[in-house]
Amino acid sequence: MSPPIRAVYKGGQLWLLDPVHLIEGQEIRVMILSEEDRVRAALGDLVVPLPTPAAEDVDEEALAREVEAGFRGQLPLSDTILEERRTGP
């Protein structure tokens, strides 16, 4: 597969910005991507979708105990957040 070729649309025509190696009369296919489409495609390769657990798969009580244990001996979470806002992390 050939690398993408940049072009500019001007006056109803596509003006190629990169050299191409084509034979006269050769048929090609063109895919038009906006800059936004190009960025989304590039970022799409970096993002890995994570499965969302079903509501019944989440043990909220166990999760609350885990969070509570993490803050045991510290200020309540809301106080911790307010303190970090005042002093920085």
pTM of this structure: 0.39
Write out pLDDT tens, residues 22-78.
899 999 888 888 888 888 887 877 777 777 777 677 788 888 888 777 767 666 777
- DSSP for the chain reads -PPP--EEEETTEEEESS-----TT---------HHHHHHHHHHTT----PPPPGGG--HHHHHHHHHHHTTTS--HHHHHHHHHHH--
Q: State residue 73's pLDDT score.
A: 66
